[in-house]
Amino acid sequence: MQHLLMQVQQQQVSRPSSGPTAPAGGNSNEFTERAASLMAQLPPLFNVEEVLSSMVNPYENALDAALLQELARYNALISITRKCLQLVQDAAEGVIEYTAEVEEMYQCLRQNRVPQAVVAASYPMAFGLAAWMANLRRRVDFMAMWLRGQPPQPFWLPGCFSPRSVCTAMLQQYARRQSLKIDSVGFTFCVLDDEEDAAASNAPANEQQKGVPLPIQEGDSEAIWTKRGTALVAQLDE
């Protein structure tokens, strides 16, 4: 009897899977619908070839080169995200077998968690899956706005995949225009109120940033802040 049961179990394991088994807390239709909904929210890929052909000497313009790098990074992230979501639909239709990767996608959809493959290809983010998708669309919209002309003012630096690279491109652009060595230029920082924004955006060689987190405790003095490279460092009293 025990031998017969073992044979039946072996046959069940070796039998090809017709589709995934829904994890606890939902059914396969619910998860495939959720995956399809998220896929519909994904922005389209940027046409990098078209963008490149519309630029004049893009590799001599530091900001254009930085923009192309940003577009390539976002394209890769969007493609990976779409591939992960497609796994759920393919598994439900029996196109692929139910694997550990598919299981993770079910769990991510159930727990509103960003898949590990997407996390590995993404920028640092502490959002759930739904909020992460909304943030991705906002970032892509910002890049599309940049594509339509000059870098937007104020410039949403945290919306860049690699803010450090964009900051370096800004310095390179300014140094070339002013015929200066890159090591001789740097950033100065001014915190503006709402009334000063319009005037500052028209200033020459000016880049306004928005959305940069800068936590300041109540009672802090300006003297505790020190500029080091492109960072502001707070010196705390011991």
pLDDT tens sequence across 3-32: 443 343 334 334 444 444 545 445 678 899
Q: In this structure, is residue 102 part of a structural domain?
A: yes
Give residue 7's pLDDT.
43
Q: In this structure, is residue 127 part of a structural domain?
A: yes
Same domain for 33 and 139, yes or no, is yes
Most confident of 24-38, 155-169, 182-196, 215-229: 155-169
Same domain for 138 and 33, yes or no, is yes
Same domain for 33 and 137, yes or no, is yes
Report d(CA 102, CA 72) in Å as an integer. 26
Split at pLDDT 50, 70, 90, the class of 67 is very high
Report d(CA 117, CA 139) in Å as an integer. 19
Q: In this structure, is residue 3 part of a structural domain?
A: no
Q: Is 22 left (phi over 0), alpha (psi -120 to 50) or beta?
A: beta
Over 50: is that where the pLDDT of 70 sits? yes
Same domain for 124 and 34, yes or no, is yes
Tokens 């796994």 correspond to what residue? 87
Same domain for 38 and 52, yes or no, is yes
In the chain, the number of structural domains is 2
Same domain for 138 and 158, yes or no, is no
What backbone torsions phi and psi does residue 231 show, to the nearest 5 degrees?
Answer: -125, 155
Q: In this structure, is residue 141 part of a structural domain?
A: yes
Tokens of 101: 């990767």
Same domain for 198 and 97, yes or no, is no
Same domain for 227 and 114, yes or no, is no
* Closest by Cα among 89, 84, 129 to 109: 129
Same domain for 38 and 107, yes or no, is yes
pLDDT in tens, 166-208: 999 999 989 988 999 989 999 887 777 766 555 555 544 555 5
Query: Residue 161: which domain range?
Result: 151-205+221-237
pLDDT in tens, 40-62: 999 999 999 999 888 877 777 89
Report d(CA 157, CA 165) in Å as an integer. 11
- DSSP character at residue 223: G
